[in-house]
Structure 1
Amino acid sequence: MDDEDHEYCKVFLQAKEDLAVDFLTGLLGVRDRLGVFSLPEAIVDVSRNPGRGATGDFIGWPAIVEVEAEEGAERASVVGLVSRILSALWEAGIPAVAACDYEDELPWRGGIGRLET
C-alpha cells in the first residue's frame, strides 16, 4: 500500500480507556487482544492518550482510538466505519472528536462541529 492509499484516523475520547474498550467490544465484536480490533476494512486500536491532560481541549482527552485502513480497503468503507464509531459514541453520551484527512466526510466534521454548537 503506498502512502496515498494509507487511511489513518485518530479519535479522541472524553472517556477512560477501559470504558472505550468495553464500548467498542460491544459495537465491533470480539477483539484480538485488549483494545485491538481487526476488521475487514481496518485495525482499530484503543489506547490511553499519552497527551492526556496536556491541553484543555479534545487533544488532551483521556483515550484515543486509532483507525488504520487495511491494505486494499475502500475509502468509503473506512469512512463508514469511523462514522459508525463516532455516531455510536455520541449516542452513548461519550464526547469524541476525529482528526484525519477525511474528517469533513464524517458526521459533524468528525465531531468538531458538535463542540462548536
Structure 2
Amino acid sequence: MNLFCKIFVDVDLPKEGLVQKIADCTSGKNERWSVRTNWGEIDVVNNEDFDENRAIQEPDGFLFYRFYLEMEPEAAVPEEVYIKSVGTLLSDLWDLDAKAVAACDFEESLPMKGGYNSPRR
C-alpha cells in the first residue's frame, strides 16, 4: 500500500499558525513550513487551487480548501503506527474546528473514513 497521504485543510489561521498547531498536536518540531514528528514529516502547502466559493459549493469542494498537508512515514515506522498517527492528526484538526479531508490509499482506516462524508466538511 502507498502510505503517502494528503490532507486538505481549511482553517481560519495563517499558514504559520497552522504549522504551529500541527507541531503542538503531534509533539513535532516546527521546521518553517514543515513539521517533523517521530512518525513522519508533514509539509504544509498553500493550495494554489484555493477558492472559497468552490470549497463551499462543489461536491468535491475540499479540493479547493486553503491548505493541504503532504506526509509520508519515516522509514523505520510500522505502517499501523503511521496510519494511527495520521488518524490522530485528522481528529486533532477537527477538534481545532478545521475542515479537513484525507486523500490516501488508507482512508477507510482513518476516523470518519478520512472525513469525505463528514457533516463538518
Q: Which whole-Å CA distance do the structure 1 matches of 2:7 and 2:107 have between them?
A: 10
Verify: 1:60 aligned to 2:75, yes or no: no
Aligned residue in 2 for 1:22: 20
Aligned-pair identity in percent equals: 24
**SS of the residue aligned with 2:31?**
coil
Could you state the TM-score of these two structures normalised by the residue count of structure 2? Answer: 0.81
Aligned residue in 2 for 1:39: 37
Runs of 4+ residues deviating >4 angstroms = none
Aligned residue in 2 for 1:97: 101
**SS of the residue aligned with 2:29?**
coil
Post-superposition Cα deviations, 1:42-97, rounded to whole Å, max 9, x if no partner, equal 11111211222294300010111111111132111111111111101111211100
Q: Which whole-Å CA distance do the structure 1 matches of 2:37 and 2:27 have between them?
A: 9
Aligned residue in 1 for 2:79: 75
**Residue of structure 2 aligned with 1:12, choices 8, 12, 18:** 8
Cα contact 2:28–2:38 (8 A) shared by 1: no
Structure 1, 24-33 or 58-67: larger mean CA deviation: 24-33
Structure 1, 51-60 or 79-88: larger mean CA deviation: 51-60
Query: What are the ranges of 5 or more consecutive residues in structure 1 without an aligned counterpart?
Result: none
Cα contact 1:17–1:62 (8 A) shared by 2: no
Query: What are the ranges of 5 or more consecutive residues in structure 2 without an aligned counterpart?
Result: 56-60
Verify: 1:49 aligned to 2:47, yes or no: yes
Structure 1, 16-25 or 36-45: larger mean CA deviation: 16-25
> Aligned pairs, how many?
113
**SS of the residue aligned with 2:35?**
strand
**SS of the residue aligned with 1:10?**
strand
Q: Which whole-Å CA distance do the structure 2 matches of 1:30 and 1:76 have between them?
A: 19
